[in-house]
Chains A and B, each alone.
Chain A
Amino acid sequence: MEKVIEIKNVTFSYDTKMVLKEVSLEVFKGDFIGIVGPNGSAKTTLIKLLLGILEPQQGSIQLLGQAVKSFDQWHRIGYIAQKARDINAGFPATVEEIVAANLYMQTKPFKFLNKEQREKIDEVLSIVDMVDYKKRLIGSLSGGQQQRVFIARALVNNPELIIMDEPLVGVDVASQEKFYGLMALLNKSLGITLAMVSHDIGVITDKTNKVACLGNQSLFLHDSKSFNQTDYIKQVYGEGISLLHHQH
Chain B
Amino acid sequence: MSLALETRDLTKTFDVGKRLLRPPKAQVHAVHPTSLRVENGETLGIVGESGCGKSTLARMLVGLLPPSSGTIEIEGLSGGSSPADFGRVIQYVFQDPVSSLNPRKTIRQILEAPLIHLHGMGRSERAARIDEIFDSVSLRGEFLNRYPHEFSGGQAQRIGIARALAANARILVLDEPVSALDVSVQAQVLNLLADLKDELGLTYLFISHDLAVVEAVSDRVAVLYFGAVVEEGRAENIFASPRHPYTRLLAESAPVVGRPIGGQAQGELPDPMNPPPGCAFASRCPRATDICRTDRPELRPIEGDQRAACHHPLDP
A binds B: no
